[in-house]
Amino acid sequence: MTYVAPGDPHELARSVRAGFADHYGREASVVGRAPGRVNLMGEHTDYNHGLVLPVALPHATYAAARLRDDPADGLVRVASAQQAEPWEGQLAAVGPGTVDGWAAYAAGMVWALHERGHEIPGVDLYVDSTVPLGAGLSSSAALECSVGVAVAVALGLPLTPELRRDLVSAGMAAETEIVGAPTGGMDQTIAMLGEAGAALVIDFDLPEDRGRSTQVRLGLARHSLLVTDTRVSHALVDGGYGQRRADCEEAAAVLGLSSLRDADLDAVARIADDRVRRRARHVVTEIARVRECVDALAAGDLDSLGRLFADSHLSMRDDFEISCPELDVAVAVAVEAGAVAARMTGGGFGGSSVAVVPDERVDAVARAIDAAFALEGFTPPGHLRAEPSPGAGLEG
Protein backbone atom coordinates (compact mmCIF):
# COMPACT_ATOMS: atom_id res chain seq x y z
CA MET A 1 0.00 0.00 0.00
CA THR A 2 1.39 3.41 -0.98
CA TYR A 3 0.30 7.01 -0.49
CA VAL A 4 0.33 9.59 -3.28
CA ALA A 5 2.97 12.05 -2.05
CA PRO A 6 2.16 15.77 -2.10
CA GLY A 7 5.79 16.56 -2.92
CA ASP A 8 7.93 19.31 -1.46
CA PRO A 9 6.63 22.75 -2.59
CA HIS A 10 10.13 24.19 -3.10
CA GLU A 11 11.23 21.20 -5.14
CA LEU A 12 8.06 21.31 -7.23
CA ALA A 13 8.43 25.04 -7.83
CA ARG A 14 12.01 24.43 -8.96
CA SER A 15 10.99 21.64 -11.26
CA VAL A 16 8.08 23.55 -12.83
CA ARG A 17 10.48 26.44 -13.51
CA ALA A 18 12.89 23.99 -15.14
CA GLY A 19 10.03 22.53 -17.21
CA PHE A 20 9.06 26.03 -18.32
CA ALA A 21 12.64 26.88 -19.32
CA ASP A 22 13.02 23.59 -21.26
CA HIS A 23 9.75 24.07 -23.07
CA TYR A 24 9.95 27.76 -23.94
CA GLY A 25 13.70 28.48 -23.89
CA ARG A 26 13.34 31.36 -21.42
CA GLU A 27 12.81 31.74 -17.69
CA ALA A 28 9.43 31.94 -15.93
CA SER A 29 8.88 35.12 -13.92
CA VAL A 30 6.51 33.63 -11.30
CA VAL A 31 5.15 30.33 -9.96
CA GLY A 32 1.59 30.12 -8.61
CA ARG A 33 0.45 27.18 -6.47
CA ALA A 34 -3.12 26.07 -5.75
CA PRO A 35 -4.26 22.96 -3.85
CA GLY A 36 -6.76 20.23 -4.54
CA ARG A 37 -9.43 19.67 -1.90
CA VAL A 38 -11.37 17.03 -0.06
CA ASN A 39 -14.86 17.86 1.11
CA LEU A 40 -15.86 16.63 4.58
CA MET A 41 -19.59 17.35 4.25
CA GLY A 42 -22.04 19.08 1.90
CA GLU A 43 -22.12 17.41 -1.52
CA HIS A 44 -24.08 19.04 -4.38
CA THR A 45 -25.18 21.71 -1.94
CA ASP A 46 -23.07 24.63 -3.28
CA TYR A 47 -25.16 25.25 -6.40
CA ASN A 48 -28.29 24.90 -4.23
CA HIS A 49 -27.16 27.93 -2.20
CA GLY A 50 -26.34 25.68 0.75
CA LEU A 51 -23.23 24.95 2.84
CA VAL A 52 -20.06 22.92 2.26
CA LEU A 53 -17.12 21.95 4.49
CA PRO A 54 -13.94 21.29 2.49
CA VAL A 55 -10.26 21.23 3.45
CA ALA A 56 -7.37 22.10 1.12
CA LEU A 57 -4.99 19.21 0.38
CA PRO A 58 -1.20 19.38 0.56
CA HIS A 59 -1.32 18.11 -3.04
CA ALA A 60 -1.28 21.06 -5.41
CA THR A 61 -0.84 22.33 -8.95
CA TYR A 62 2.11 24.59 -9.75
CA ALA A 63 1.91 27.04 -12.67
CA ALA A 64 5.01 28.82 -13.97
CA ALA A 65 4.24 31.90 -16.07
CA ARG A 66 5.82 34.71 -18.02
CA LEU A 67 3.96 37.43 -19.87
CA ARG A 68 4.74 37.72 -23.59
CA ASP A 69 7.15 40.56 -24.37
CA ASP A 70 5.19 42.09 -27.22
CA PRO A 71 2.05 43.74 -25.77
CA ALA A 72 0.26 43.33 -29.12
CA ASP A 73 0.95 39.63 -29.58
CA GLY A 74 -2.03 38.23 -27.59
CA LEU A 75 -0.77 34.65 -27.72
CA VAL A 76 -1.55 32.20 -24.91
CA ARG A 77 0.59 29.05 -24.73
CA VAL A 78 0.03 26.28 -22.18
CA ALA A 79 2.00 23.09 -21.58
CA SER A 80 1.91 20.53 -18.79
CA ALA A 81 4.26 17.96 -17.32
CA GLN A 82 1.25 15.58 -17.19
CA GLN A 83 -0.11 16.09 -20.70
CA ALA A 84 1.45 15.14 -24.01
CA GLU A 85 -0.27 17.88 -26.00
CA PRO A 86 0.54 21.54 -25.42
CA TRP A 87 -1.97 24.15 -26.62
CA GLU A 88 -1.63 27.60 -28.04
CA GLY A 89 -4.04 30.16 -29.41
CA GLN A 90 -4.96 33.82 -29.51
CA LEU A 91 -6.55 35.14 -26.32
CA ALA A 92 -9.11 37.01 -28.43
CA ALA A 93 -10.24 33.71 -29.95
CA VAL A 94 -10.85 31.94 -26.60
CA GLY A 95 -14.56 31.59 -25.90
CA PRO A 96 -17.17 28.99 -24.90
CA GLY A 97 -16.34 25.68 -26.57
CA THR A 98 -13.22 26.91 -28.43
CA VAL A 99 -10.59 25.01 -26.38
CA ASP A 100 -10.73 21.25 -25.80
CA GLY A 101 -9.54 19.11 -22.90
CA TRP A 102 -7.25 20.09 -20.03
CA ALA A 103 -6.02 23.31 -21.69
CA ALA A 104 -9.53 24.81 -21.45
CA TYR A 105 -9.12 25.24 -17.68
CA ALA A 106 -5.85 27.17 -18.08
CA ALA A 107 -6.80 29.18 -21.18
CA GLY A 108 -10.26 29.74 -19.65
CA MET A 109 -8.67 31.31 -16.58
CA VAL A 110 -6.61 33.70 -18.72
CA TRP A 111 -9.82 34.52 -20.65
CA ALA A 112 -11.71 35.14 -17.37
CA LEU A 113 -9.03 37.55 -16.11
CA HIS A 114 -9.15 39.38 -19.42
CA GLU A 115 -12.97 39.54 -19.21
CA ARG A 116 -12.56 41.15 -15.78
CA GLY A 117 -10.73 44.05 -17.35
CA HIS A 118 -7.09 43.00 -16.97
CA GLU A 119 -4.89 43.89 -19.96
CA ILE A 120 -2.99 40.71 -20.82
CA PRO A 121 -0.29 40.98 -23.51
CA GLY A 122 -0.30 37.18 -23.95
CA VAL A 123 1.32 34.65 -21.64
CA ASP A 124 3.32 31.43 -21.60
CA LEU A 125 2.35 28.87 -18.95
CA TYR A 126 3.79 25.55 -17.83
CA VAL A 127 2.07 23.46 -15.15
CA ASP A 128 2.88 20.45 -13.01
CA SER A 129 0.65 18.84 -10.39
CA THR A 130 0.54 16.30 -7.59
CA VAL A 131 -3.29 16.39 -7.41
CA PRO A 132 -4.54 13.09 -8.86
CA LEU A 133 -6.47 13.83 -12.06
CA GLY A 134 -10.14 12.86 -12.34
CA ALA A 135 -10.22 11.63 -8.72
CA GLY A 136 -12.90 14.02 -7.47
CA LEU A 137 -10.21 16.01 -5.63
CA SER A 138 -10.62 19.15 -7.67
CA SER A 139 -7.61 19.03 -9.94
CA SER A 140 -9.52 21.40 -12.25
CA ALA A 141 -9.89 24.20 -9.69
CA ALA A 142 -6.25 23.67 -8.67
CA LEU A 143 -5.25 24.22 -12.31
CA GLU A 144 -7.50 27.26 -12.73
CA CYS A 145 -6.40 28.89 -9.49
CA SER A 146 -2.66 28.20 -9.89
CA VAL A 147 -2.83 29.80 -13.35
CA GLY A 148 -4.93 32.67 -11.96
CA VAL A 149 -2.41 33.43 -9.21
CA ALA A 150 0.56 33.19 -11.59
CA VAL A 151 -0.96 35.44 -14.25
CA ALA A 152 -2.33 38.00 -11.78
CA VAL A 153 1.00 38.31 -9.99
CA ALA A 154 2.87 38.45 -13.33
CA LEU A 155 0.59 41.40 -14.16
CA GLY A 156 1.81 43.09 -10.96
CA LEU A 157 -1.38 42.62 -8.89
CA PRO A 158 -0.83 42.06 -5.15
CA LEU A 159 -2.40 38.88 -3.80
CA THR A 160 -4.92 40.63 -1.52
CA PRO A 161 -8.10 39.09 -0.06
CA GLU A 162 -10.04 40.97 -2.78
CA LEU A 163 -7.89 39.46 -5.53
CA ARG A 164 -8.40 36.01 -3.99
CA ARG A 165 -12.19 36.54 -4.18
CA ASP A 166 -11.87 37.73 -7.78
CA LEU A 167 -9.88 34.65 -8.69
CA VAL A 168 -12.64 32.46 -7.17
CA SER A 169 -15.22 33.98 -9.49
CA ALA A 170 -12.79 33.98 -12.45
CA GLY A 171 -12.18 30.25 -11.88
CA MET A 172 -15.91 29.58 -11.76
CA ALA A 173 -16.39 31.52 -15.00
CA ALA A 174 -13.58 29.57 -16.69
CA GLU A 175 -15.13 26.27 -15.64
CA THR A 176 -18.78 26.99 -16.36
CA GLU A 177 -18.36 29.13 -19.48
CA ILE A 178 -15.20 27.92 -21.24
CA VAL A 179 -15.00 24.27 -20.10
CA GLY A 180 -18.78 23.90 -19.95
CA ALA A 181 -18.97 22.08 -16.58
CA PRO A 182 -21.99 23.41 -14.64
CA THR A 183 -20.28 23.24 -11.23
CA GLY A 184 -20.85 25.32 -8.07
CA GLY A 185 -18.16 27.40 -6.35
CA MET A 186 -16.83 25.11 -3.61
CA ASP A 187 -13.64 24.00 -5.34
CA GLN A 188 -12.34 27.42 -6.38
CA THR A 189 -13.26 28.91 -2.98
CA ILE A 190 -11.31 26.36 -0.94
CA ALA A 191 -8.40 26.44 -3.42
CA MET A 192 -8.08 30.22 -2.94
CA LEU A 193 -9.07 30.56 0.74
CA GLY A 194 -8.02 27.30 2.46
CA GLU A 195 -6.08 27.50 5.74
CA ALA A 196 -3.54 25.11 7.22
CA GLY A 197 -5.03 22.94 9.99
CA ALA A 198 -8.61 23.99 9.27
CA ALA A 199 -11.67 23.20 7.22
CA LEU A 200 -13.73 26.05 5.76
CA VAL A 201 -17.47 26.19 6.14
CA ILE A 202 -18.63 28.05 3.06
CA ASP A 203 -22.15 29.41 2.84
CA PHE A 204 -23.47 29.94 -0.69
CA ASP A 205 -26.56 31.78 0.43
CA LEU A 206 -25.14 34.90 -1.18
CA PRO A 207 -24.64 35.00 -4.97
CA GLU A 208 -22.52 31.97 -5.77
CA ASP A 209 -19.19 33.64 -6.34
CA ARG A 210 -19.39 35.46 -3.01
CA GLY A 211 -19.74 32.46 -0.70
CA ARG A 212 -19.06 33.58 2.88
CA SER A 213 -16.46 31.38 4.51
CA THR A 214 -15.44 30.76 8.10
CA GLN A 215 -12.60 28.60 9.35
CA VAL A 216 -13.38 25.51 11.39
CA ARG A 217 -10.42 24.23 13.41
CA LEU A 218 -10.41 20.45 13.30
CA GLY A 219 -10.67 19.07 16.82
CA LEU A 220 -9.43 15.68 15.62
CA ALA A 221 -6.56 14.99 17.97
CA ARG A 222 -4.67 11.79 17.04
CA HIS A 223 -6.84 11.22 13.95
CA SER A 224 -6.00 11.68 10.28
CA LEU A 225 -7.97 12.16 7.09
CA LEU A 226 -7.42 9.25 4.72
CA VAL A 227 -8.55 9.82 1.13
CA THR A 228 -8.95 6.85 -1.19
CA ASP A 229 -9.05 7.42 -4.94
CA THR A 230 -11.12 4.58 -6.40
CA ARG A 231 -9.59 5.26 -9.83
CA VAL A 232 -13.09 5.14 -11.26
CA SER A 233 -12.99 8.01 -13.66
CA HIS A 234 -15.25 10.95 -13.13
CA ALA A 235 -15.80 13.85 -15.51
CA LEU A 236 -18.06 16.71 -14.54
CA VAL A 237 -18.71 17.58 -18.17
CA ASP A 238 -20.49 14.21 -18.57
CA GLY A 239 -24.24 14.31 -18.12
CA GLY A 240 -24.74 13.01 -14.55
CA TYR A 241 -23.69 16.13 -12.68
CA GLY A 242 -25.78 18.45 -14.88
CA GLN A 243 -28.78 16.12 -14.54
CA ARG A 244 -28.56 16.27 -10.76
CA ARG A 245 -28.42 20.04 -10.95
CA ALA A 246 -31.48 20.09 -13.23
CA ASP A 247 -33.36 17.78 -10.81
CA CYS A 248 -32.61 20.18 -7.95
CA GLU A 249 -33.84 23.14 -9.98
CA GLU A 250 -37.00 21.22 -10.80
CA ALA A 251 -37.55 20.42 -7.11
CA ALA A 252 -37.11 24.08 -6.14
CA ALA A 253 -39.55 25.12 -8.87
CA VAL A 254 -42.16 22.57 -7.69
CA LEU A 255 -41.83 24.00 -4.17
CA GLY A 256 -42.08 27.57 -5.46
CA LEU A 257 -38.59 28.42 -4.13
CA SER A 258 -35.61 30.02 -5.83
CA SER A 259 -33.29 27.32 -4.41
CA LEU A 260 -33.46 24.27 -2.13
CA ARG A 261 -31.53 26.05 0.61
CA ASP A 262 -34.56 26.86 2.72
CA ALA A 263 -36.79 24.01 1.61
CA ASP A 264 -38.76 22.30 4.35
CA LEU A 265 -38.51 18.49 4.66
CA ASP A 266 -42.30 18.09 5.05
CA ALA A 267 -42.83 20.03 1.84
CA VAL A 268 -40.14 17.96 0.13
CA ALA A 269 -41.95 14.76 1.25
CA ARG A 270 -45.00 15.91 -0.72
CA ILE A 271 -43.15 16.27 -4.07
CA ALA A 272 -45.00 13.83 -6.34
CA ASP A 273 -42.12 12.72 -8.57
CA ASP A 274 -40.10 10.08 -6.73
CA ARG A 275 -36.74 10.93 -8.29
CA VAL A 276 -37.09 14.67 -7.82
CA ARG A 277 -38.28 14.16 -4.22
CA ARG A 278 -35.23 12.03 -3.36
CA ARG A 279 -32.82 14.54 -4.95
CA ALA A 280 -34.34 17.34 -2.86
CA ARG A 281 -34.29 15.21 0.29
CA HIS A 282 -30.55 14.65 -0.15
CA VAL A 283 -29.84 18.36 -0.52
CA VAL A 284 -31.97 19.45 2.44
CA THR A 285 -30.64 16.78 4.82
CA GLU A 286 -27.06 17.30 3.60
CA ILE A 287 -27.16 21.04 4.36
CA ALA A 288 -28.37 20.20 7.90
CA ARG A 289 -25.51 17.68 8.21
CA VAL A 290 -22.94 20.38 7.39
CA ARG A 291 -24.16 22.44 10.35
CA GLU A 292 -24.08 19.40 12.65
CA CYS A 293 -20.68 18.36 11.35
CA VAL A 294 -19.20 21.79 12.16
CA ASP A 295 -20.39 21.37 15.76
CA ALA A 296 -19.15 17.77 15.98
CA LEU A 297 -15.71 18.74 14.65
CA ALA A 298 -15.39 21.68 17.00
CA ALA A 299 -16.35 19.47 19.94
CA GLY A 300 -14.21 16.52 18.83
CA ASP A 301 -17.43 14.46 18.94
CA LEU A 302 -16.37 11.42 16.94
CA ASP A 303 -19.60 9.44 17.48
CA SER A 304 -21.68 12.17 15.88
CA LEU A 305 -19.13 12.52 13.11
CA GLY A 306 -19.39 8.81 12.35
CA ARG A 307 -23.18 8.95 12.19
CA LEU A 308 -23.18 12.08 10.00
CA PHE A 309 -20.69 10.62 7.52
CA ALA A 310 -22.68 7.35 7.35
CA ASP A 311 -25.98 9.18 6.78
CA SER A 312 -24.37 11.38 4.13
CA HIS A 313 -23.00 8.39 2.25
CA LEU A 314 -26.37 6.60 2.27
CA SER A 315 -28.11 9.77 1.13
CA MET A 316 -25.70 10.06 -1.82
CA ARG A 317 -26.00 6.37 -2.63
CA ASP A 318 -29.77 6.03 -2.40
CA ASP A 319 -31.35 9.47 -2.81
CA PHE A 320 -28.89 11.34 -5.01
CA GLU A 321 -27.58 8.18 -6.74
CA ILE A 322 -24.02 9.35 -7.31
CA SER A 323 -22.08 6.53 -5.62
CA CYS A 324 -20.69 3.40 -7.28
CA PRO A 325 -19.67 -0.09 -6.04
CA GLU A 326 -16.02 0.93 -5.56
CA LEU A 327 -17.00 3.89 -3.34
CA ASP A 328 -19.45 1.77 -1.34
CA VAL A 329 -16.75 -0.85 -0.71
CA ALA A 330 -14.11 1.75 0.23
CA VAL A 331 -16.48 3.34 2.76
CA ALA A 332 -17.76 0.09 4.31
CA VAL A 333 -14.30 -1.45 4.60
CA ALA A 334 -12.79 1.73 6.08
CA VAL A 335 -15.31 1.62 8.92
CA GLU A 336 -14.88 -2.14 9.44
CA ALA A 337 -11.11 -1.65 9.65
CA GLY A 338 -11.28 1.08 12.29
CA ALA A 339 -12.21 4.43 10.70
CA VAL A 340 -14.49 6.47 12.95
CA ALA A 341 -16.22 8.06 9.93
CA ALA A 342 -16.22 7.49 6.16
CA ARG A 343 -18.17 8.73 3.13
CA MET A 344 -17.75 9.32 -0.56
CA THR A 345 -16.64 12.86 -1.36
CA GLY A 346 -16.85 15.24 -4.31
CA GLY A 347 -19.11 15.22 -7.35
CA GLY A 348 -19.53 11.42 -7.43
CA PHE A 349 -19.89 8.84 -10.24
CA GLY A 350 -16.48 7.55 -9.13
CA GLY A 351 -13.75 9.62 -7.55
CA SER A 352 -12.73 9.38 -3.90
CA SER A 353 -13.84 8.52 -0.39
CA VAL A 354 -12.68 10.25 2.79
CA ALA A 355 -12.30 8.63 6.19
CA VAL A 356 -11.42 9.93 9.66
CA VAL A 357 -9.04 7.35 11.09
CA PRO A 358 -7.14 7.03 14.39
CA ASP A 359 -3.49 7.72 13.49
CA GLU A 360 -2.32 4.24 14.40
CA ARG A 361 -4.99 2.61 12.15
CA VAL A 362 -4.36 4.57 8.93
CA ASP A 363 -2.06 2.02 7.29
CA ALA A 364 -4.30 -0.87 8.35
CA VAL A 365 -7.40 0.83 6.91
CA ALA A 366 -5.63 1.57 3.61
CA ARG A 367 -4.40 -2.02 3.43
CA ALA A 368 -7.89 -3.39 4.16
CA ILE A 369 -9.33 -1.32 1.31
CA ASP A 370 -6.58 -2.57 -1.03
CA ALA A 371 -7.38 -6.17 -0.07
CA ALA A 372 -11.13 -5.68 -0.56
CA PHE A 373 -10.58 -4.08 -3.98
CA ALA A 374 -8.36 -7.00 -5.02
CA LEU A 375 -11.00 -9.48 -3.87
CA GLU A 376 -13.71 -7.66 -5.84
CA GLY A 377 -11.50 -7.48 -8.93
CA PHE A 378 -11.49 -3.65 -8.89
CA THR A 379 -8.57 -1.56 -10.15
CA PRO A 380 -6.13 -1.00 -7.23
CA PRO A 381 -7.01 2.29 -5.48
CA GLY A 382 -4.66 5.15 -4.55
CA HIS A 383 -4.47 6.65 -1.06
CA LEU A 384 -3.60 10.14 0.16
CA ARG A 385 -3.09 11.53 3.63
CA ALA A 386 -5.04 14.78 3.67
CA GLU A 387 -3.24 17.11 6.09
CA PRO A 388 -5.37 20.31 5.96
CA SER A 389 -3.17 22.75 4.05
CA PRO A 390 -3.03 26.41 3.01
CA GLY A 391 -4.85 27.82 -0.02
CA ALA A 392 -3.24 29.21 -3.15
CA GLY A 393 -0.14 31.35 -3.10
CA LEU A 394 3.18 32.10 -4.72
CA GLU A 395 5.95 29.55 -4.57
CA GLY A 396 9.69 29.75 -4.99
197 residue type, one letter: G
Min dist CB 97 to ligand GLA, Å, is: 19
Q: Is 184 in the site for ligand GLA (CB under 6 A)?
A: yes
**Burial letters 77-115, b for 16+ CB under 10 A, else e:** bbbbeeeeeebebebeebeeeebeebbbbbbbbbbbbbe
Between CA 387 and CA 43 the distance in angstroms is 20
Number of residues lying near ligand GLA (CB under 6 A): 13
CB of 19 or CB of 346, closer to ligand GLA: 346
Binds ligand GLA (CB under 6 A): choice among 53, 179, 186, 362 = 186
CB of 154 or CB of 186, closer to ligand GLA: 186
Select the span of 183-191, 196-204, 262-270, 325-333 touching ligand GLA (CB under 6 A). 183-191
CB of 9 or CB of 184, closer to ligand GLA: 184
- Compose the 294-333 pattern: x for residues touching ligand GLA by CB under 6 A, - for all others: ----------------------------------------
Is residue 376 a contact partner of residue 329, using CB atoms and an 8 Å limit?
yes
CB of 44 or CB of 223, closer to ligand GLA: 44
Min dist CB 236 to ligand GLA, Å, is: 6
CB of 41 or CB of 333, closer to ligand GLA: 41
- Compose the 127-166 pattern: x for residues touching ligand GLA by CB under 6 A, - for all others: -----------x----------------------------
Q: Is 346 in the site for ligand GLA (CB under 6 A)?
A: yes
Q: Is 347 in the site for ligand GLA (CB under 6 A)?
A: yes
Residues within window 19-78 making contact with ligand GLA, judged by CB under 6 A = 39, 43-44, 46-47
CB of 351 or CB of 382, closer to ligand GLA: 351
Backbone angles phi, psi at 99, to 5 degrees: -120, 135
Is residue 57 a contact partner of residue 37, using CB atoms and an 8 Å limit?
yes
Concerning whether 295 is annotated as a catalytic residue, the answer is no
Min dist CB 212 to ligand GLA, Å, is: 16
CB of 27 or CB of 238, closer to ligand GLA: 238
DSSP per position, 171-189: HHHIIIIII-----SHHHH
Beta strands at 123-129 and 75-80: parallel, antiparallel or unpaired: parallel
DSSP state of 1: -
Min dist CB 346 to ligand GLA, Å, is: 5
Residues within window 193-252 making contact with ligand GLA, judged by CB under 6 A = 236
Which residue, among 126, 109, 95, 164, has the nearest Cα to 19 in the 3D structure? 126
Which residue, among 213, 212, 217, 225, has the nearest Cα to 196 in the 3D structure? 217
Is residue 326 a contact partner of residue 377, using CB atoms and an 8 Å limit?
no
Is residue 110 a contact partner of residue 143, using CB atoms and an 8 Å limit?
no
Which residue, among 231, 230, 228, has the nearest Cα to 385 in the 3D structure? 228
Residues within window 262-301 making contact with ligand GLA, judged by CB under 6 A = none
Min dist CB 124 to ligand GLA, Å, is: 28
Write out the H or E segment, with its range, that includes residue 328.
helix 325-336
Min dist CB 147 to ligand GLA, Å, is: 17
Is residue 34 a contact partner of residue 145, using CB atoms and an 8 Å limit?
yes
Partner residues linked to 32 by β-bridges: 63, 394
In the set 46, 128, 166, 187, the catalytic residue is: 187
Between CA 254 and CA 292 the distance in angstroms is 27
Backbone angles phi, psi at 273, to 5 degrees: -75, 125
Min dist CB 6 to ligand GLA, Å, is: 19
CB of 38 or CB of 276, closer to ligand GLA: 38
CA 341 to chain CA mean position, Å: 20
Is residue 168 a contact partner of residue 392, using CB atoms and an 8 Å limit?
no
Min dist CB 251 to ligand GLA, Å, is: 16
**Residues involved in catalysis:** 187
Task: Note the residues at the interface with ligand GLA (CB under 6 A).
Answer: 39, 43-44, 46-47, 138, 183-184, 186-187, 236, 346-347
